[in-house]
């Protein structure tokens, strides 16, 4: 097995070791052991950079279900490496942070690290898989482990709500993704991403191309919290802060981004892809930044900020896909800025957002609140935290000299270039992009400043906090300090990233733009002259400061928006309506009355068979080959018809039973005239026994009441019954009339005596030719008689009812009932039940004697 596969499986294997470590090594925080995993991964992936930079790929494959063409195949290229470094690097920092954040005595940290390791392995699997089905498997595993992590404090109602919501939305997208992948397979005949990319001509123009595109995008948008599927992300903030920092800012929410980037070679260059990805990204960017301003909870603000920044990255990927339209050439390279910006901002966002989440966690830890209205003046108390927060927020706002500034300048460059494109009818709508980008940047600036100033500046609200705040312990500060330094380093020396990570990643996203042997050359300059982009940034800062200062005056606007338009409201009500609707639907047709169910069954029978009879050509109702009719046969048929038709009209139960018996004896007569002596004998005996059994049983039953149901019911019953009768008649006629094969009866007639030594052919068939039927039919009779015997003799209810009553109360299921009270309740329930039985028996006896007297 290759080292690449071993490394993906490492977190899973280590997750199995965590519980015993947690249980037996109590003196050391389990997190220290776990820390080794991401560190090892990170070091390995760092060592891969030179190889990948040289344009090579690492690949490995082991068979999983070879007969179905499913291989556990992985490969490492520029894009995969970028994500793998993010996952393992930030994973290591988050684990380190969590060691100080989660108390080893108060929290179930064993479970925490198991879930976190599963997530880490799954995420690595997503970004390194080559096989689509394997990718989907890991994709769902990230959803499940994220669900477990959000509900880590599962005793809180909000945590469970958030976990459920995120699971439902991401799994919905996951299902869509699965359908999209299957369509890709149908089009190309392979599950391998690399082979699909190599086989593009069979994808383009295929009828399934657009559905596959839409479904894949649905999966990517739900995972990456794009509008309107973003609603799960703010509720996922109920998770412990290390989880929020890791999953919901740096890794999982970027799985959708990864997918869009990974499948760009397949879909890019199409107008649908360009517009959907760019438009959803831009709308999410704007919506997220507008909503972040009104949040008062630090983590909710960061969540909406994440949504907004994810929208930005997604939008940039969409804009970058236009380059694929031009193919190899000078013009296409002009439009790759957007893709470069997307990758660069992806890294930048992971660094500053991770550090900001950790800052929020520290503040929560030190003051006991995350409410921005209760915070203030922390700068003097927590200077280090303040510095980290300042670097993070200024980078997020897009100010120099931090990395956010560079990616925002590139973002502006990309949207400005979009205006000049003349494809996909961009001439008309393209000018919207810079406007949206600028407004969103202004609001990004506002919420970044609000976050920084409301938390760390202003009044010191000591009475609002339940503990005395002071600087966080040094261990908690290491991770955010590392991230904040990266923000600075990447801001000052962006080309460190450009050569090592961004160029190979671009080669993975846009391979069709490179002739063999070529490679992208990305150079990010800190100072690019007095350009339009710089002017836009000045405008952002000016408008942002103005609006942030006057924030108190206009923030009331948010309260004016009606609740009905909120997407959460729609989601909650929609879920409620779904539950209510399906409940009503089910209780509408599941009436509990057996008559309704039989009516459904018979109606379906009539409709299906009627349709088939109408549609099937060549059914003949021929009467050529029928036997002649004798006069006594007519008399028998008339008798049968009359006695049958009379049964429903019988007033007394005796008449009904006798009439049914008559039908049975008439059937015996038919057996006689149709020359079946054995049948006649059996039928006569069985009919006699049945009628006596009837009389015996129904002596105890009440008198046959007149049907009390409404006329409408009786009419519909009659209609169904007539339909069934008609269908059976038609089928009998049709089957009898069509051409037949010769019967195998001749064999039995000829061989009965020769082979079996019997002259009664029917009996020979029953015991010799087809003896197995008889054997099992004897068994049926045996079972029936044993069943009847059991039913009459076995009276268990006195003994098991106590348990049942308790079970219904739901007390046994809890398993925490005091044994004494439980047994006492059993006795009480038993006594109550016996009293009820006695009362019922008495009333029945009374009813019977009363009935007899009448």
Partner 1 sequence: METLMAVAVGLLFAVGVYLILSRSLLRIVLGTSLLTHGVHLLLLTMSGLKTGAAPLLGEDAGRYVDPLPQALILTSIVISFGVTSFFFVLAYRAYQKLGTDDMEQLRGQEDEY
Q: How far is Cα 88 from Cα 125, in angstroms, rounded to an integer?
A: 12
- Asked whether position 771 contacts partner 1 by CB under 8 A, the answer is no
Q: Which is nearer to partner 1, 195 or 707 (CB)?
A: 707
Tell me which residues in 733-752 interact with partner 1 (CB under 8 A). 733, 735-736, 743-745, 748-749, 752
Which residues are bridge partners to 817 per DSSP? none
Can you tell me which of 316, 336, 694, 801 binds partner 1, judged by CB under 8 A?
694
Which pair of structure tokens corresponds to residue 717?
A: 């019953």
Can you tell me which of 783, 832, 835, 836 binds partner 1, judged by CB under 8 A?
783
Write down the least CB distance from residue 732 to partner 1, Å. Answer: 4
* Distance, CA of 26 to chain centre: 37
Closest CA to 43 of 80, 71, 84: 84
Write down the least CB distance from residue 79 to partner 1, Å. Answer: 51
Can you tell me which of 547, 644, 803, 826 binds partner 1, judged by CB under 8 A?
644
Can you tell me which of 708, 711, 814, 816 binds partner 1, judged by CB under 8 A?
708
* Distance, CA of 9 to chain centre: 24
Closest CA to 197 of 256, 267, 135, 124: 267
Write down the least CB distance from residue 595 to partner 1, Å. Answer: 6
Q: Which is nearer to partner 1, 5 or 667 (CB)?
A: 667
Query: DSSP secondary-structure letter at 374?
Result: T
- Asked whether position 781 contacts partner 1 by CB under 8 A, the answer is yes
Write down the least CB distance from residue 737 to partner 1, Å. Answer: 9
Write down the least CB distance from residue 247 to partner 1, Å. Answer: 37
- Asked whether position 640 contacts partner 1 by CB under 8 A, the answer is yes
Write down the least CB distance from residue 194 to partner 1, Å. Answer: 52
Can you tell me which of 760, 823, 824, 827 binds partner 1, judged by CB under 8 A?
760
Q: Which is nearer to partner 1, 581 or 787 (CB)?
A: 787
Task: Quickly list DSSP for 479-520.
Answer: HHHHHHHHHHHHHH-THHHIIIIIHHHHHHH-GGG--TT---
- Asked whether position 698 contacts partner 1 by CB under 8 A, the answer is yes
Closest CA to 143 of 56, 202, 219: 219
Write down the least CB distance from residue 697 to partner 1, Å. Answer: 4
Q: Which is nearer to partner 1, 172 or 667 (CB)?
A: 667
Q: Which is nearer to partner 1, 99 or 606 (CB)?
A: 606
Can you tell me which of 762, 803, 817, 822 binds partner 1, judged by CB under 8 A?
762
- Asked whether position 656 contacts partner 1 by CB under 8 A, the answer is yes
Show the 3-state SS of 768-798.
Answer: HHCHHHHHHHHHHHHHHHHHHHHHHHCCCHH
Q: How far is Cα 588 from Cα 134, in angstroms, rounded to an integer?
A: 42
Write down the least CB distance from residue 653 to partner 1, Å. Answer: 6
Tell me which residues in 162-201 interact with partner 1 (CB under 8 A). none
User: Which range binds partner 1 by CB under 8 A, 170-178, 205-213, 418-426, 663-671?
Assistant: 663-671
- Asked whether position 602 contacts partner 1 by CB under 8 A, the answer is yes
- Asked whether position 607 contacts partner 1 by CB under 8 A, the answer is no
- Asked whether position 674 contacts partner 1 by CB under 8 A, the answer is yes
User: Which residues lie closer than 8 Å to 274 by C-beta, 6 or more apart?
Assistant: 268, 318, 319, 321, 322, 325, 424
- Number of C-beta neighbours around residue 325 at 10 A: 17
- Asked whether position 732 contacts partner 1 by CB under 8 A, the answer is yes
Per-residue CA distances from 155 to 19, 52, 111 (Å)? 21, 46, 15
Can you tell me which of 175, 599, 619, 803 binds partner 1, judged by CB under 8 A?
599
Q: How many CA atoms lie within 13 A of 494 on its CB side?
A: 26
Q: Which is nearer to partner 1, 207 or 627 (CB)?
A: 627
Closest CA to 164 of 175, 153, 151: 151
Can you tell me which of 30, 671, 805, 829 binds partner 1, judged by CB under 8 A?
671
Tell me which residues in 617-636 interact with partner 1 (CB under 8 A). 623, 625-629, 633-634
Burial 508-545 (b: 16+ CB within 10 A, else e): bbbebbeeeeeebebebeeeeeeeebeebbeebbebbe
Q: Burial of 235 by CB count in 10 Å (0-12 exposed, 13-18 middle, 19+ buried)?
A: buried
Q: How far is Cα 371 from Cα 364, in angstroms, rounded to an integer?
A: 9
- Number of C-beta neighbours around residue 252 at 10 A: 29
Q: How far is Cα 718 from Cα 709, in angstroms, rounded to an integer?
A: 13
Can you tell me which of 95, 285, 317, 761 binds partner 1, judged by CB under 8 A?
761
Q: Which is nearer to partner 1, 17 or 672 (CB)?
A: 672
Can you tell me which of 207, 515, 701, 796 binds partner 1, judged by CB under 8 A?
701
Write down the least CB distance from residue 852 to partner 1, Å. Answer: 16
CB-CB contact of 551 with 450 (8 Å)? yes
Can you tell me which of 43, 419, 726, 755 binds partner 1, judged by CB under 8 A?
726
CB-CB contact of 221 with 307 (8 Å)? no
CB-CB contact of 264 with 343 (8 Å)? no
Tell me which residues in 81-120 interact with partner 1 (CB under 8 A). none
Q: How many CA atoms lie within 13 A of 358 on its CB side?
A: 39
* Distance, CA of 358 to chain centre: 30
Can you tell me which of 111, 464, 495, 690 binds partner 1, judged by CB under 8 A?
690
Can you tell me which of 275, 499, 670, 833 binds partner 1, judged by CB under 8 A?
670
Which pair of structure tokens corresponds to residue 47?
A: 């060592």
Write down the least CB distance from residue 840 to partner 1, Å. Answer: 6
- Asked whether position 401 contacts partner 1 by CB under 8 A, the answer is no
Q: Which is nearer to partner 1, 531 or 785 (CB)?
A: 785
* Backbone dihedral region for residue 620 (phi beyond 0: left; psi -120 to 50: alpha; all else: beta): beta
Write down the least CB distance from residue 630 to partner 1, Å. Answer: 8
Q: How far is Cα 116 from Cα 124, in angstroms, rounded to an integer?
A: 12
- Asked whether position 693 contacts partner 1 by CB under 8 A, the answer is yes
Q: Which is nearer to partner 1, 57 or 717 (CB)?
A: 717
Tell me which residues in 115-154 interact with partner 1 (CB under 8 A). none
User: Which range binds partner 1 by CB under 8 A, 14-22, 51-59, 424-432, 697-705?
Assistant: 697-705
Write down the least CB distance from residue 711 to partner 1, Å. Answer: 14
Can you tell me which of 515, 557, 564, 594 binds partner 1, judged by CB under 8 A?
594
Tell me which residues in 16-35 interact with partner 1 (CB under 8 A). none
User: Which range binds partner 1 by CB under 8 A, 2-10, 428-436, 529-537, 597-605?
Assistant: 597-605
First and final C-alpha spacing in the chain: 89
Task: Please state the length of the chain.
Answer: 854
Q: Which is nearer to partner 1, 200 or 599 (CB)?
A: 599
Contacts with partner 1 by CB under 8 A: the residue count is 101
Site string for partner 1, 795-834 (x = CB under 8 A): ------------xx--------------------------
- Asked whether position 610 contacts partner 1 by CB under 8 A, the answer is no
User: Which range binds partner 1 by CB under 8 A, 197-205, 418-426, 485-493, 718-726?
Assistant: 718-726
Query: What φ, ψ does residue 487 adopt, rounded to 5°?
Result: -55, -45
Can you tell me which of 23, 156, 555, 770 binds partner 1, judged by CB under 8 A?
770
Can you tell me which of 475, 579, 581, 725 binds partner 1, judged by CB under 8 A?
725
Position of tokens 């520290």?
362
Position of tokens 């100080």?
100
Which pair of structure tokens corresponds to residue 649?
A: 């009209």
Closest CA to 452 of 347, 556, 355, 344: 355
């Amino acid at each position: 097995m290759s080292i690449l596969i071993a490394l993906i499986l490492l977190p899973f294997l280590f997750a199995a070791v965590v519980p015993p470590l947690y249980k037996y090594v109590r003196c050391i925080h389990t997190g220290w052991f776990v820390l080794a995993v991401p560190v090892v991964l990170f070091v390995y992936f760092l060592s891969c950079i030179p190889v990948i930079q040289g344009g090579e790929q690492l690949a490995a494959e082991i068979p999983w279900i070879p007969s179905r063409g499913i291989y556990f195949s992985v490969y490492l290229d520029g894009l995969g490496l970028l994500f793998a470094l993010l996952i393992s690097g930030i994973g290591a920092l988050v684990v380190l942070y969590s060691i100080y954040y989660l108390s080893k005595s108060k929290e179930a940290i064993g479970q925490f690290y198991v879930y976190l390791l599963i997530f880490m392995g799954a995420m690595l699997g997503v970004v390194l898989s080559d096989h689509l089905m394997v990718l989907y498997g890991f994709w769902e595993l990230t959803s499940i482990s994220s669900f477990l992590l959000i509900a880590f404090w599962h005793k809180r109602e909000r945590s469970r709500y958030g976990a459920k919501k995120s699971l439902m939305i991401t799994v919905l997208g996951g299902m869509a993704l699965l359908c999209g992948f299957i369509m890709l397979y149908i089009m190309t005949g392979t599950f391998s991403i690399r082979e699909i990319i190599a086989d593009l001509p069979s994808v383009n123009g295929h009828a399934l191309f657009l559905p596959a595109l839409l479904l894949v995008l649905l999966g990517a948008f739900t995972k990456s919290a794009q509008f309107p599927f973003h609603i799960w992300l703010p509720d996922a903030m109920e998770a412990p802060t290390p989880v929020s920092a890791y999953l919901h800012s740096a890794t999982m929410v970027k799985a959708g981004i990864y997918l869009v980037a990974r499948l760009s070679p397949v879909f890019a260059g199409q107008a649908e892809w360009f517009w959907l990805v760019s438009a959803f990204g831009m709308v999410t960017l704007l919506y997220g930044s507008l909503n972040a301003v009104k949040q008062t909870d630090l983590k909710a603000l960061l969540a909406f900020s994440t949504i907004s920044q994810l929208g930005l990255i997604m939008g940039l990927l969409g804009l970058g896909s236009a380059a694929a339209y031009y193919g190899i050439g000078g013009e296409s390279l002009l439009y790759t800025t957007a893709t470069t910006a997307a990758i660069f901002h992806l890294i930048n966002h992971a660094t500053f957002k991770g550090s900001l989440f950790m800052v929020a966690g520290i503040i929560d830890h030190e003051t006991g609140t995350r409410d921005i209205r209760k915070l203030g003046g922390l700068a003097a108390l927590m200077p280090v935290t303040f510095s980290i927060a300042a670097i993070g927020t200024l980078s997020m706002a897009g100010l120099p000299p931090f990395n956010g500034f560079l990616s925002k300048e590139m973002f502006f460059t990309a949207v400005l270039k979009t205006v000049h494109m003349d494809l996909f009818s961009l001439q008309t709508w393209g000018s919207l992009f810079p406007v949206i980008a600028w407004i969103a940047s202004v609001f990004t600036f506002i919420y970044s400043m609000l976050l920084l100033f409301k938390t760390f500046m202003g009044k010191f609200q000591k009475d609002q906090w339940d503990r005395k705040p002071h600087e966080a312990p040094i261990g908690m500060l290491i991770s955010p300090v590392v991230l904040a330094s990266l923000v600075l380093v990447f801001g000052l020396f962006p080309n460190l990233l450009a050569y090592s990570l961004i160029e190979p990643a671009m080669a993975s996203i846009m391979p069709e733009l490179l002739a063999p042997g070529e490679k992208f050359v990305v150079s990010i300059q800190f100072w690019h002259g007095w350009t339009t982009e710089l002017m836009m940034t000045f405008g952002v800062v000016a408008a942002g400061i103005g609006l942030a200062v006057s924030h108190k005056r206009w923030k009331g606007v948010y309260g004016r928006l009606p609740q009905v338009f909120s997407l959460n409201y729609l989601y909650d009500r929609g879920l409620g309506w779904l539950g209510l609707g399906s409940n009503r639907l089910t209780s509408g047709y599941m009436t509990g009355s057996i008559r309704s169910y039989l009516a459904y069954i018979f109606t379906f029978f009539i409709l299906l068979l009627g349709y088939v009879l109408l549609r099937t050509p060549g059914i003949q109702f021929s009467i050529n080959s029928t036997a002649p009719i004798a006069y006594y046969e007519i008399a028998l048929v008339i008798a049968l018809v009359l006695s049958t038709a009379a049964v429903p009209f019988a007033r007394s139960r005796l008449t009904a039973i006798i009439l049914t018996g008559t039908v049975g004896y008439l059937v015996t007569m038919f057996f006689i005239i149709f020359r079946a002596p054995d049948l006649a004998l059996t039928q006569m005996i069985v009919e006699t026994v049945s009628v006596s059994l009837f009389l015996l049983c129904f002596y105890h039953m009440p008198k046959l009441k007149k049907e009390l149901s409404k006329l409408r019911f009786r009419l519909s019953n009659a209609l169904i019954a007539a339909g069934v009768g008609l269908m059976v008649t038609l089928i009998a006629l049709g089957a009898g009339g069509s051409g037949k094969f010769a019967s195998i009866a001749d064999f039995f007639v000829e061989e009965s005596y020769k082979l079996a030594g019997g002259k009664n052919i029917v009996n020979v068939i029953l015991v010799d030719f087809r003896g197995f039927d008889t054997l099992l039919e004897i068994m049926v009779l045996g079972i029936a008689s044993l069943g009847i015997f059991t039913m009459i003799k076995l009276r268990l209810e006195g003994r098991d009812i106590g348990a049942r009553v308790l079970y219904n109360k739901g007390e046994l299921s809890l398993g925490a009932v005091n044994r004494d009270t439980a047994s006492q309740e059993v006795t009480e329930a038993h006594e109550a039940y016996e009293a009820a039985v006695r009362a019922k028996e008495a009333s029945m006896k009374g009813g019977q004697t009363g009935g007899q007297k009448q």
